[in-house]
Structure 1
Amino acid sequence: MPPEKNNVNPQENAWWFIIAKDQIVLQPQGNFIPYGNLDDLPFPEKLANNVIKIADYHSSPCYLVVLQEQLDIGLGEYLSLRSLLGRIDDLLFDLTGRAFQLALFYQTHQYCGKCGHKMHAINWETAMKCYHCQHRCYPRISPCIIVGIRKDKEILLAVHHRHLKQNNPVFTVLAGFVEAGETLETCVEREVYEESKIRVKNIEYVSSQPWPFPHSLMMGFLADYESGEIQIDKSELVEAAWYHIDNLPVLPNNGTIARKLINKMVEQGNTEI
């Protein structure tokens, strides 16, 4: 279960991340995340007594409330986390992702994976502990690479099975999970070759993005084409091809690290002499 409730000042304004059934309560305007104090918001008493502080944002605390069902609490509509992509600033999106990851963590670590006894939340850090065998668990974070590949003024883009939409496929860059004992650069080389049979060089780190679907950390790279002809891994990709920067297909939404990498390659291609 979540840690004991934080001491919430009922007259202090705060951000409220209310999650149930993999959806979050969002308001139709402004920052979307409900903001206000307990005295002014229509919180049922049982919700006000079951909150977890997860961070601060703009000098106000952020509280997570995990519900077992989608109760109508009069603050907004239950929507998916993806509906916020590109609509709020990066920090607030990352905090929303943190709320989802912590909600999942508390829900999936009720029992000890070592001895099977009941786990208990720790109040002084984000962790669950088994007092029978002293085993301690922290929120799972899965490292992933995502890489944009350049060849002159062309970009390698692919349609993944998970991104295939009827009559409107989304084309994106290649990505994959880091394996045990693997460097990020080695992972880039391996994933690109496994999915496309392309060899790359000049691997350059760009930036990272927490990706709470459900608990990844995406580390973005750019790389140059070195050799090979595209041969897709059909278990991962539907199709892949080189696209000129002036004639790109449907791309991922703004706010995703995939779109950031693509935009950066387009910008670089347009500034080359």
Structure 2
Amino acid sequence: MLIRDLPSINAIKIGRFYYKSRDIEETITMSCRMMLFESSDRTVPLGRGGSATLIRFRGVDYVVATRHQLGIKWGAPLPHDILNTIRISTGEGILSNIPLKRVVFETANPDEEFHDLLLFETADEWEHQARDRPYFFDLAPFSTRPRVKSFLVGYPALGVVMDEYLADFVPEQPGTIHIKRAICDCDLDLTFATHVQHYRRYKFSRERDVVDGYSGGAVFSLVGELGDHEVVLDGIVVRAGADCLHIVDADYLIAAFTTTLDPA
């Protein structure tokens, strides 16, 4: 089932606002972006880092990614130039960047290899911001309401895309890169058991090819009953396979922000 297949007469809540069903997918996908990274050597092409998710907490805008996307092991210090080398893709037709102001959270969970979120505060404004229309999804606790359907949104690392980009790359010259976004049906696996808190598994509706790039993306869910539907952010993708994916849920994000912003 697709969200846009719901009766158009019914509005669906996202955060504080209501949208027609036909506008929901476009709205939530504006919260997920492709992440690239660059070397200090501008003659080297951009590297592919996977996905990143835009969220808002207490009125401030943030970007969520993971350590393993960037090859940063648990416990290792972040590169000193990480704020200047990560590129959160933006811009319609012209690839631009959402600048990052500071690292807010970088403490990985030693209980789980992929429990390794990075939280960045974004700049207050940037070039092409109005043209791009980014949507920072309001962070709220993990919803306990019945789920109608869940959706993975991310940017798979398709070899043909990067091969095409690298083949045409000319140092210091504008290039072309075709960004491929994926929206996949999935369902919360209520049978999944783990000792790791805030770590949840979702089953794909059908088996999929195993590709890199989904980490840092998000799982959204349509919850509630007809006439009282709401789209919520379940969490951030940290692992994806052929038949399932794993997330760190929204409650963990809230705890990370609270611990960092409101130290005891």
Normalised-by-shorter TM-score class: under 0.3
Structure with more contact order per residue of length (Cα contacts < 8 Å, sep ≥ 6) = 2
Q: TM-score, normalised by structure 1?
A: 0.26
Larger Rg, first or second structure (1 or 2): 1
Q: TM-score, normalised by structure 2?
A: 0.26
